[in-house]
């Protein structure tokens, strides 16, 4: 049996919560959290929130204390104050102490927040084509590097931007898309490569990457989007007209069970088709909002498609 991914664990836990309640979701998360790699702060968050929602007050407080005191994580003050799943804990002085500690850490993190760029395969003097991959919301550059640093991409200089917009420990977002576009442009400029540039992304990272392309803030030879979250796709129609007669190629991967992004992926494909932009849309059966298990093979196909000479 193949190892369960971090994103799949979160998706499955949410589904169990919606269908069977918080207790079963908590038991499922508790059983499997130790077996996945990803944002550990988020895994703790799921566990203490679900335990609290199940009225397991002492257990929830213990997990929360382990995350914040022992591990040094922090969570957004507004979230801790508003989440109904945590209501059973509000009577405890310890909970209020942990909330205040998180508030202090959040304020410090916000003051220190800045965009970052991780670059891999940068050895030697030979110029390599660049593949930049943009993380989704509540993710980070390290997680994205794990997903995209594959055999299929070993000949590329790999660049992984990390947003300056932090949500909680090791979790970043692109809520301010205009700021995200500026950061992506700055990162591309910093690479100073004269070679081919392909941009990729997952979920909300695709939204920022596409905006950067359509606003002509970056020039790319192609893009590879996985589970692209592209809200208000019809509003992009005129901007996508600018891709007509360009040499850009696109490869879009989305799960058949991805309720949030499947329709947007299809709509994007239709707009690209209307402008005669070379592209492929791959809908994968049984896949939710996550990377496909055989992502190396999909990357290989995507890169072959984009690099193919017409």
Q: Identify the CATH number of the domain in which residue 285 sits.
A: 3.40.50.1820
Q: What is the largest CA-CA distance in the chain?
A: 67
Whole-angstrom distance, CA of residue 147 vs CA of residue 150: 7
Based on the domain organization, do 122 and 45 belong to the same domain? no
Give the mean pLDDT of 237-247. Answer: 86
Contact 142, 118 (CB under 8 A): yes
Looking up tokens 């995350």 gives 67
Average pLDDT, rounded, for the chain = 94
Based on the domain organization, do 238 and 210 belong to the same domain? yes
For the beta carbon of residue 291, count every other beta carbon within 10 angstroms.
21
pLDDT of residue 88: 96
Based on the domain organization, do 92 and 204 belong to the same domain? no
Give the mean pLDDT of 235-242. Answer: 86
Domain end marker among 112, 145, 160: 112
Based on the domain organization, do 91 and 146 belong to the same domain? no
Closest CA to 183 of 134, 127, 242, 239: 134
Looking up tokens 């402008």 gives 275
Among 45-49, 118-122, 203-207, 268-272, which is the least confidently predicted range?
Answer: 118-122
Give the mean pLDDT of 134-156. Answer: 96
Domain extent at residue 293: 116-307
pLDDT of residue 276: 92
pLDDT of residue 244: 84
Give yes or no for residue 169 having a pLDDT over 50.
Answer: yes
pLDDT of residue 3: 72
Based on the domain organization, do 197 and 282 belong to the same domain? yes
pLDDT of residue 1: 44
Phi/psi at 252 (5° precision): -120, 130
Residue 272 burial by CB count (10 A; 0-12/13-18/19+): exposed, middle or buried?
A: buried
1 inside domain:
no
Based on the domain organization, do 134 and 256 belong to the same domain? yes
Give yes or no for residue 156 having a pLDDT over 70.
Answer: yes
Contact 128, 121 (CB under 8 A): yes
Give the mean pLDDT of 165-187. Answer: 97
176 inside domain:
yes
Based on the domain organization, do 206 and 61 belong to the same domain? no
| Domain total in the chain | 2
Q: How confident is the model at residue 239 (pLDDT cuts 50, 70, 90)?
A: confident
Give the mean pLDDT of 16-29. Answer: 97
Whole-angstrom distance, CA of residue 169 vs CA of residue 105: 9
User: Is the pTM for the entire model greater than 0.85?
Assistant: yes
Closest CA to 282 of 238, 202, 225, 235: 225
Based on the domain organization, do 99 and 240 belong to the same domain? no
Domain end marker among 79, 112, 145: 112
Which percentage of the chain shows pLDDT scores above 90? 87
Based on the domain organization, do 156 and 294 belong to the same domain? yes
Give yes or no for residue 7 having a pLDDT over 80.
Answer: yes
Helix (H) / strand (E) containing 203: none
Give the mean pLDDT of 246-264. Answer: 95
pLDDT of residue 98: 98
For residues 85 and 126, the model is more confident at 85
DSSP label of 168: E
234 inside domain:
yes
151 inside domain:
yes
Based on the domain organization, do 161 and 91 belong to the same domain? no
Instruction: For residue 124, give both structure tokens.
Output: 């030697």
**Ramachandran bin of 55, using left for φ above 0, alpha for ψ from -120 to 50, beta for the remaining angles:** left
Q: How confident is the model at residue 305 (pLDDT cuts 50, 70, 90)?
A: very high
Give the mean pLDDT of 198-209. Answer: 97
78 inside domain:
yes
Based on the domain organization, do 200 and 257 belong to the same domain? yes
Alpha carbon 255 to chain centroid, angstroms: 15
Instruction: For residue 240, give both structure tokens.
Output: 């996508």
Contact 163, 174 (CB under 8 A): yes
Closest CA to 219 of 241, 238, 240, 196: 196
Based on the domain organization, do 91 and 123 belong to the same domain? no
Domain end marker among 97, 112, 127: 112
The SS3 of residue 295 is helix
Phi/psi at 149 (5° precision): -85, 85
Give yes or no for residue 63 having a pLDDT over 90.
Answer: yes
């Amino acid at each position: 049996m193949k190892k369960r991914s971090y994103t799949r664990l979160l998706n499955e836990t949410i589904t169990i919560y919606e269908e069977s309640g918080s207790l079963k979701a908590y038991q499922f998360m508790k059983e499997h959290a130790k077996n996945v790699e990803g944002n550990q702060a988020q895994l703790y968050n799921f566990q203490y929130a679900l335990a609290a929602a199940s009225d397991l007050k002492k257990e929830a407080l213990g997990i929360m204390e382990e995350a914040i005191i022992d591990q040094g994580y922090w969570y957004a003050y507004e979230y801790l104050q508003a989440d109904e799943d945590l209501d059973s804990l509000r009577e405890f002085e310890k909970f209020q102490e942990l909330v205040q500690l998180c508030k202090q850490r959040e304020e410090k993190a916000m003051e220190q927040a800045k965009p970052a760029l991780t670059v891999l395969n940068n050895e030697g003097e030979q110029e390599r084509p660049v593949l930049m991959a943009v993380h989704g919301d509540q993710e980070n550059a390290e997680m994205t590097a794990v997903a995209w640093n594959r055999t299929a991409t070993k000949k590329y200089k790999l660049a992984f931007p990390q947003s300056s917009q932090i949500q909680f420990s090791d979790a970043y977002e692109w809520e301010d898309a205009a700021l995200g576009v500026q950061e992506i442009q700055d990162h591309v400029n910093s690479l100073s490569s004269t070679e081919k540039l392909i941009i990729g992304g997952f979920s909300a990272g695709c939204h920022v990457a596409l905006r950067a392309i359509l606003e002509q803030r970056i020039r790319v030879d192609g893009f590879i989007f996985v589970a692209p979250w592209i809200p208000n796709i019809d509003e992009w129609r005129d901007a996508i007209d600018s891709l007509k007669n360009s040499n850009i190629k696109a490869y879009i991967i989305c799960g058949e069970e991805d309720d949030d992004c499947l329709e947007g992926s299809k709509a994007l494909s239709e707009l690209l088709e209307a402008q005669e932009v070379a592209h492929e849309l791959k809908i994968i059966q049984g896949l939710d909002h996550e990377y496909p298990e055989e992502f190396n093979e999909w990357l290989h196909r995507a890169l072959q498609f984009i690099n193919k000479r017409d």
